[in-house]
Structure 1
Amino acid sequence: MRVEVIIAWPDHYAASTLELAEGATVAEAIAAAHLPRAIEAPGVAVHGLVVRSTQVLHDGDRVELLRPLLADPKEARRRRAGPMPGVKRG
C-alpha cells in the first residue's frame, strides 16, 4: 500500500511517499520515512485526525507529524484583538 508521511514548518515542509506492507502502523511509517526532526513531533494525525502510533494505515493515507505550538492560542488572539476600551490592566 502507498502512504505519505509529511512534516511542515512555517517556511518549508518535508514529505516521503512510501510503499508499505498491508497492516503497517503509523509508527512503522514514521520510522521508514526518515524525515528530519520527526522524533520531535509531539503528535501525529492521519488526514487531520489525531491518532496513536499503533493506528493501522490504509492505502492512500497521509500521516501528518504535528509540531508543538509556538504560542498559546488564547494569548495570540488577545494580542491580535488589542486592548479593550474601558478595561484597565494592572
Structure 2
Amino acid sequence: MDNRSIAVEVVYALADKQKLLRLTVSYGTTVREAALRSGLDAHFPGLDLASSPLGIFGKAVAKPEDRVLEEGERVEIYRPLIADPKEVRKQRAAKAAKAKQEEGGE
C-alpha cells in the first residue's frame, strides 16, 4: 500500500465569487474524491459535488470517479450550462442571416 501524499487544488467559481483550495490528499485519490473532500459545497449553497461535472486544467474528465489525480493538478468544478452553446451559435447565425437578407433584399 502506498501512503504517499500529493498536493492538488480544487476550484469553483460563480460570476461574482470564487474559491480555490489547496489540499493534500493520498496518492490514488480520484478527481471526484478530491472535489468531495474540498467541502466547497459549504461555501456555495446548491453546489452538488457528488454529481457536478469536473475537469482538470480546463479539460472535462469523462469519468471523475475513475481518474486518479497527479501531483499539482487543479480540479475544476463546472457549473451546469444555462444554454447549449451550439444552439446559441445556431440562433445567432440565423439572426445574422435574416438581418443580412433584409438588408440586401436577397
State the TM-score bracket (shorter-chain normalisation).
0.7 to 0.9
Superposed CA deviations along residues 59-82 of structure 1, whole A, max 9, x for unmatched, are 100000111112232454418x75
**2:32/2:50 contact within 8 Å kept:** no
- 1:48 is the counterpart of 2:63: no
In the TM superposition, structure 1's runs of 4+ consecutive aligned residues that sit over 3 Å from their partners are: 74-77
The gaps in structure 2 that reach 5 residues or longer are: 1-5, 42-46
| TM-score, reference length from structure 2 | 0.68
2:20 is matched with: 15
1:85, CA displacement in angstroms?
2.4
1:38, CA displacement in angstroms?
4.2
Higher relative contact order, chain-length normalized (CA < 8 Å, sep 6+): 1
Change (3 A) 1:21 1:6: same
Measured in 1, the distance between the counterparts of 2:54 and 2:10 equals 10
SS in 2 for 1:30: helix
| TM-score, reference length from structure 1 | 0.78
Identity %: 35
Superposed CA deviations along residues 26-68 of structure 1, whole A, max 9, x for unmatched, are 1210111000214276311011111122200011000001111
Q: Number of aligned pairs?
A: 86
The alignment yields a C-alpha RMSD, in angstroms, of: 2.2
Amino acid at match of 1:19: T
The gaps in structure 1 that reach 5 residues or longer are: none
